[in-house]
Amino acid sequence: MKQELWLLGKTNKESLTKDVHGIWDVTVIAGEMSDNYGNSKLILTVCDDKGTSAAVFIPKGSFKRAKIYQTSLELDKKFNKICKIRLEVEDSDRETWHCHEVKLQNKKNKETLEIPCYRDFPDNKGCTVVEFPILITGTRFLTVKQYILYISTDSAPKSGTDSDVYVTLKGTIGDTGRRKLFKNEQGCFSEGKVDVFLIEAVDIGTLCQLIVEKGKGSAWHLQKVMVKEPQYEGKETLFISQTWLRDTNEKKKYASLTLNANEVLDKGSTTASLLSSQNMKSEGLWKISFTTCREDSSKAFEEFGENITKLIWVFYGNRGKSEPISLMSKTGIQADDKLMFDVYFPSDLGTLYKVKIGVHLLEESIWQLFHHCKIQNTVTLDTFSLSLNETFPLLNRDQWLEFPIEWPLRKALSVITYDVKIFCSDIVSKISMVPISLYVYGTNGDTEDRRLLLSPSSTIEKGEIGQSFTGHIDAVDLGKLYKIVLLIGSTSSCKLAIKALHLKENLKQEPVYIFEVNDRCAD
């Protein structure tokens, strides 16, 4: 097997001074070129790891006079370090230019960075942009990665465009710069077509934003963009657009659209990814993406969307819980078999550890809802997934389901069935249907309003305390219990004089939490 290996660079000194801002002298050394070359404009950009950059423009014809071109640029105080340089050729007129080396020297302290290039512009693939990382001895450096873009144009008539298209990928440690997507002989961006493009750039970290620009020309209905990272098998980032890009009456040369990542799919990882840090900040915008398991028809999808909006969501974090969130008033975005909604957390709940899903009213009947649900922070891209194959109301008339959230390298809680034994001091006059709700509080949170159903099939036991009945609640591990709030509905003529509640985990004999009731509970 034969493989070509491109030079990534060579290491410079062990470290740069802390302050890199100031004037830097720039030297660009060209290789051999044809006599008629020199009509291209070269752009050299110096970048840090926060998206800050500074560029110099080398005019057309500069290398006709000499193989070495010298200029300077200023790095302002926003620069914390130099991570990479970007070389780009414009208006190459099908001529090839060879860059041999680039040198940067701090005008004040004379520190020098040498970046060997040995690259042709454009190369044999037609690429006119190349990035080079800055390699410092003894430090972790970034490598060059490939990003494969799958750009989908809507299938409606006249959705395609013949305009030039440019994209910029933005990540947590920088961006790719503005890249022109070169068309092939068959043309690109036709209605109903998926076009594939390759962008090579120094690693930008976790991809979180995409800027799309369209030049002057016919309008374009961009459906979505999928970005795959072949270095990480199964890593895909989805950007949903469903937007027209049209020329404006303003003097702007390009129609521009900024898209945030809608979904990150990593088939090779766990069901959740905590990307921002070990201490999550959950405040801000989250996106909920549902995948239906119903048959693929417009009527079924409409029913699917209607059922989804009937759900109520409560999110729990180590700093508190959200208010109940309803999707009833929100507009979903449909893409293939997915339906997406935006939800906003006005305050920081900390690291999320469970989510509770329920319905507005017990009387509502909702068929099988969705097969898969992915919930993602639109800024940090922290992501977790849920799978649900249930109908509401549940068989025990409970209107809530609880799910633990599993994060990598963190111990997750589990769902526990709690046995609740209710002791009454008198005879139950009528037990055909006794609606009882409990709020159970523990060190890991609470259950809020959870329904117990005592039907004629419930076992009636007699003991020293009185008659007892047993019900069950499924909830994410509550930790050590310390309080119960008991509510008895009024849908029956039943009267209960409840004296005590005993609560324990179904799979454990101990501990048993005993709660006494001081007041008579009656309907």
Q: If you average pLDDT over every residue of the chain, what do you get?
A: 79
Are residues 391 and 421 located together in one domain of the fold? no
- Say if residues 387 and 420 touch (Cβ distance below 8 Å): no
Q: Residue 37 pLDDT more than 60?
A: no
Beta strands in 79-214 (DSSP E): 84-90, 97-106, 112-121, 129-133, 144-153, 165-171, 174-175, 179-180, 194-202, 207-214
Q: Do the domain assignments include residue 273?
A: no
Please write the tens of the pLDDT for every residue from 403-439.
898 887 677 889 999 988 888 766 555 444 567 788 8
Give the residue-averaged pLDDT of 256-279.
65
Compute, in degrees rounded to 10, the torsion defined by CA atoms 443, 445, 446, 447: -120
Give the residue-averaged pLDDT of 312-341.
84
Q: Residue 220 pLDDT more than 90?
A: yes
Are residues 361 and 426 located together in one domain of the fold? no
Are residues 469 and 510 located together in one domain of the fold? yes
Give the residue-averaged pLDDT of 251-276.
69
Beta strands 255-260 and 207-214, pairing class = antiparallel
Q: Percentage of the chain with pLDDT > 70? A: 74
Give the pLDDT band of residue 312 (cuts 50, 70, 90).
confident
**What pLDDT score does 198 carry?**
93
CATH number at residue 387: 2.60.60.20
Are residues 207 and 233 located together in one domain of the fold? yes
Give the residue-averaged pLDDT of 48-58.
85
Please write the tens of the pLDDT for every residue from 479-493.
999 889 888 766 555
Give the pLDDT band of residue 12 (cuts 50, 70, 90).
low
Please write the tens of the pLDDT for every residue from 124-151.
777 889 999 988 776 777 888 999 999 9
Are residues 395 and 501 located together in one domain of the fold? no
Are residues 165 and 253 located together in one domain of the fold? yes
Range of the domain at 183: 144-265
Backbone angles phi, psi at 302, to 5 degrees: -65, -40
Q: Do the domain assignments include residue 164?
A: yes
Q: Do the domain assignments include residue 87?
A: yes
End-of-domain residue from the set 404, 430, 464: 404
Domain count, the chain: 4
Model-level pTM greater than 0.85? no
Are residues 256 and 363 located together in one domain of the fold? no
End-of-domain residue from the set 133, 164, 192: 133
Give the residue-averaged pLDDT of 99-119.
87
Are residues 104 and 16 located together in one domain of the fold? yes
End-of-domain residue from the set 82, 108, 133: 133
Q: Percentage of the chain with pLDDT > 90? A: 24
Q: Which two tokens stand for residue 129?
A: 């942009």
Are residues 177 and 199 located together in one domain of the fold? yes
Q: Do the domain assignments include residue 155?
A: yes
**What pLDDT score does 4 carry?**
58
Q: Do the domain assignments include residue 271?
A: no
Q: Do the domain assignments include residue 521?
A: no
Choice between 408 and 47, residue whose per-residue pLDDT is larger = 47
Please write the tens of the pLDDT for every residue from 150-207.
999 998 899 999 999 999 999 988 899 999 998 776 778 999 899 999 999 999 988 9
Q: Do the domain assignments include residue 71?
A: yes
**What pLDDT score does 234 carry?**
65
Compute, in degrees rounded to 10, the torsion defined by CA atoms 31, 37, 41, 42: -10
